[in-house]
Structure 1
Amino acid sequence: EETTRIIDAIDNGQDVVVHGAAGNGKSGVLYELAEHLRQKNVPFLPIRLDRRVPGNTAKQFGQDLGLPDSPAHCLVGLAEGRKSVLILDQLDAIRWTASHSSTAMCVCKELLRQTRSFRKDKKQIVIVFACRTFDLENDPDIKNLFAENSENVVVKVPVAAFSDEQLKDVIGPDAFVPLNGHQKRVLSCPHNLAIWLEIKKE
């Protein structure tokens, strides 16, 4: 459902921030999004910010990635008029992994400005961020990045833990029925559920 909401926002030319608690499957949703974009032949560039920390400027960030220019500029050039999507995962990791997190956040702001500027010039590019809900609601730099006004609205897509029905669909009714309330809460986190399913196989 979350992936569908993101795709709808992209089709409407809207930037997106995917958020949720740790382990709730934000990166899994982005992977599903990437598979959809690949099948539809939509150019996209996914970057994990905990592994590729932005520095200096958007252009320098692109060059650090092996690109000739800013990731946004390169995507627009590659797309040649088609829709394109820049995906930035692990936004909240910037302040934990970067010694100059303010500089890294400035690069993210620059990428967002570039994306919006391209859209004003009728280029079909959007940017999709992912971060933890806690940081989205409490980190001043991240809150400022997504500050909204009449022109710039970022669609916020929460990724919640699985409902009981979703959990039952995954593990089957025979495994679901014996679980107590605490066990269901633990397994409703996709990360925990994946570990439990691997253990169960063995």
Structure 2
Amino acid sequence: MALEAGGYAEKLGNRYEANWIAYQLLRLLQEKISYVTVEPIGDDEVGVDLVIGNNDGSYEHHQCKASSGNNEYWPLSKLHSSNILKNASFQIGRGATEFHLVSPLSSRIISDLSESALNSNAMPFDFLEHQVKQSQEREKCFRSLCEYLGLCVESEEDVRKAMLFLQRFKIIRYDLNKHSLTELEDKASSLFSGSSTKLVQFLKYYPVEYSKLRNKITANHLLDDLKKAGFVARGIPEDQRVLSVVDNLSKEFDESIQPFLICNQLIKRKELDYIIESLTETPVTLLRAEAGVGKSSLLLELHNYLRERGAISVPVRLDRRNPEDNLDTYGRALGFPYSPPLSLSALSKHSKVVIILDQLDAIRWTGAHSNIALHICQELIRQTIALRKEGADISIVLASRDFELNEDIALSSWLGSISESLHAVILSTLDEEIVDELVSPFETYSLLSSVKKEILKIPLWLGIYLTIAHRTQTAPSFNNKLELVKNFWDD
């Protein structure tokens, strides 16, 4: 395809690359790939517009070329003079799984040789004798390719290198036309409600407008920015995309705690800093406290903190999502394709992943199935620890009441067995300064008896106190917890 010279050709080239970026970002949102880097830096920059991270850990280097001068296809000589062969050879030599030349134009002879290299017996001279020398055209092309790559066809090792190049060098046909734009908009419409045209336009220029050039763009980060920009994800029946499952669990967790917060707000707890530090140091963090001290609200605070910083937080309340059967079955019950840690493992290669299990003590009260529930939790944590040892950035936070940790022999014994991988954080009662500020509109905290002070330092009882106080616009009269509860029901 011959383009007009000058500024028009440059603008069309930029449009072409922008469309390819939007196409890859839609694949990212579909979780078909794990990350996209636009305009990489360092050695990755050589002859490369995008780096694509695959879910299996491999990666591809993409170069976009909307034209080949006045040619209707890619001659080998033009691939050489444009430094495409040189750049592709450099990236493949560095370990790129594949180098993709993305273009509306093809190269039949390169595609044919690549197909032969992929279907060879891996013996260089057999490939040369029986697959390359089938025709004078193929042999001439292969010899020219070797010459351009600085390889000698008489050397077995050099022919092996040429075979590797052909196996990893791909020319991907991608046309910039009405059909390709419609395809982009259809993909966008299947994922988000509203104007698909606006979404595609957003994706085209997202790396530039949101300062994401030279950075790994993950689906998690992209989804957050899309939400902030006002785009609404479409509910898809039986959607097994991992981040969609995470989003649903997040909403469920938030809705189960938010209505019961003291004065409809999260009270900052100093133990949050201890948990954050523990996430870096150990695979498993155990949050323990007496009943009513605010474990769930602290976990919500942690969940919000992680999401604000681009981490993937996966909160599950075990009192509402009781583990049954086995870990894979439980994962599917939550919405994952299989066990939660393994479902999240690909994401943990490029983003921090934290699984939050609230109400661990609840599995003790599942009757005859308590042993199965405990076994599933044990397996979930074993998988998390194993992934962490393999280099995955994944952690787990458990929360339980002290009573169960002290009284349940099976639970305490198991936690003791993983002590080397576990750090415990003890959640204390509220600081007096916080309580003083909250009760000050109704009475002076410092003038209360020591018994009342201790009661109000426990979030559960402070919440009941403030509910009564806000309703009656006066401080409730009480001397113990029982009287406070009676006032609540009488009110």
Give me the TM-score of the superposition, normalised by structure 1.
0.92
**Do 1:14 and 1:126's aligned partners in 2 also have CA atoms closer than 8 Å?**
yes
1:2 and 1:52 map into 2 onto residues whose CA distance is 26
* 1:138 has 2:407 as partner: yes
Which of the numbers 288, 294, 316 marks the counterpart of 1:19?
288
Do the aligned residues in 2 keep the contact of 1:16 with 1:128 (CA within 8 Å)?
Answer: yes
Match of 2:189 in 1: none
TM-superposed deviation, 1:73: 1.2
How many angstroms apart in 2 are the aligned matches of 1:170 and 1:97? 37
Deviation of the 1:197 alpha carbon: 1.2
Q: How far did 1:146 drift?
A: 1.1
Instruction: From 406, 428, 431, give the equivalent of 1:160.
Output: 428
Given that 2:287 and 2:399 are in contact with CA atoms closer than 8 Å, whether structure 1 keeps it comes out as yes
Q: In structure 2, what is the Cα distance between the partners aligned to 1:144 and 1:46?
A: 25
Match of 2:364 in 1: 95
User: Using the alignment, how far apart are the partners of 1:19 and 1:56 within structure 2?
Assistant: 27
- Check if 1:39 corresponds to 2:313: no
Q: Which moved more, 1:162-171 or 1:45-54?
A: 162-171
Q: Could you say which residue in structure 2 is the equivalent of 1:125?
A: 394
Structure 2: segments with no counterpart, 5+ residues: 1-269, 472-491
2:334 maps to what in 1?
65
Shift of 1:14: 3.3
Out of 10, 20, 28, the position equivalent to 2:279 is 10
Distance 1:144 1:169 in 2: 41
Q: Secondary structure at the match of 1:100?
A: helix
Rounded Cα–Cα distance in structure 2 between residues aligned with 1:37 and 1:163? 24
Among candidates 30, 45, 63, match of residue 299 of structure 2: 30
Question: Which of 40, 44, 55 is matched with 2:324 structurally?
Answer: 55
Asked if structure 2 preserves the Cα contact closer than 8 Å seen for 1:89 and 1:131, the reply is yes
- Name the amino acid aligned to 1:30: L
Distance 1:13 1:181 in 2: 38
Aligned to 1:200: 469
* Contact 1:75–1:86 (8 Å) recurs in 2: no
For the 8 Å contact 2:359–2:400, the answer to whether it is kept is: yes
8 Å CA contact retained: 2:432, 2:457 = yes
With 71-80 and 19-28 compared, the bigger mean Cα shift is at 71-80
Look up the match of 2:48: none
Q: Contact between 2:282 and 2:422, CA under 8 Å: does it hold in 1? A: no
SS at match of 2:421: coil
Output the CA distance in 2 between the equivalents of 1:13 and 1:147.
15
Q: Is the Cα–Cα contact under 8 Å of residues 45 and 75 in structure 1 kept in the other structure?
A: no
Residue deviations 1:1-55, cap 9 Å, x none? 1111000111224310101011000111101100101101101210000111111
C-alpha distance in 2 between matches for 1:176 and 1:6: 30
| CA–CA separation in structure 2 for the residues paired with 1:6 and 1:33 | 8
Q: Is the 8 A contact 1:148 1:154 kept in 2?
A: no
Deviations 1:54-102 (CA, angstroms, capped at 9, x unpaired): 1122111101112101111122223343211010000101111353100
Q: In 2, distance between residues paired with 1:146 and 1:5?
A: 19
Q: 1:89 to 1:149 in 2, by over 3 A?
A: closer
Deviations 1:83-128 (A, max 9, x none): 1101000010111135310000000100111001101110111110
Identity score, percent: 36
Structure 1 residue identity aligned to 2:432: D
Secondary structure (helix, strand or coil) at the match of 2:385 reads helix
Provide Cα deviations, 1:140-160, integer angstroms capped at 9, x if missing partner.
12112211467x331111112
Q: Could you tell me the TM-score, scaled by structure 2's length?
A: 0.39
- Tell me which residue corresponds to 1:81: 350
Q: Distance in 1 between matches of 2:418 and 2:360?
A: 21
| Residue-by-residue CA offset, 1:153-180 (whole Å, 9 max, x unaligned) | 3111111222433422433395313321
User: Could you tell me how far apart the structure 2 residues matched to 1:14 and 1:104 are?
Assistant: 21
More displaced stretch, 172-181 vs 67-76: 172-181
Distance 1:98 1:62, change over 3 A: farther
2:314 and 2:432 map into 1 onto residues whose CA distance is 34
Which residue identity does 1:157 align to in structure 2?
A: V
Q: Where does structure 1 lack aligned partners over 5 or more consecutive residues?
A: none
> Residue 183 of structure 1 aligns with which residue?
452
Task: Say whether the 8 Å CA contact 2:430–2:458 is kept in structure 1.
Answer: yes
Query: Over alpha carbons, which structure has the higher Rg?
Result: 2
Task: Mark the CA change 1:45 to 1:23 in structure 2 (over 3 Å): closer, same or farther.
Answer: same
Higher relative contact order (CA 8 A, sep 6+): 1
Q: Distance in 2 between matches of 1:149 and 1:66?
A: 28
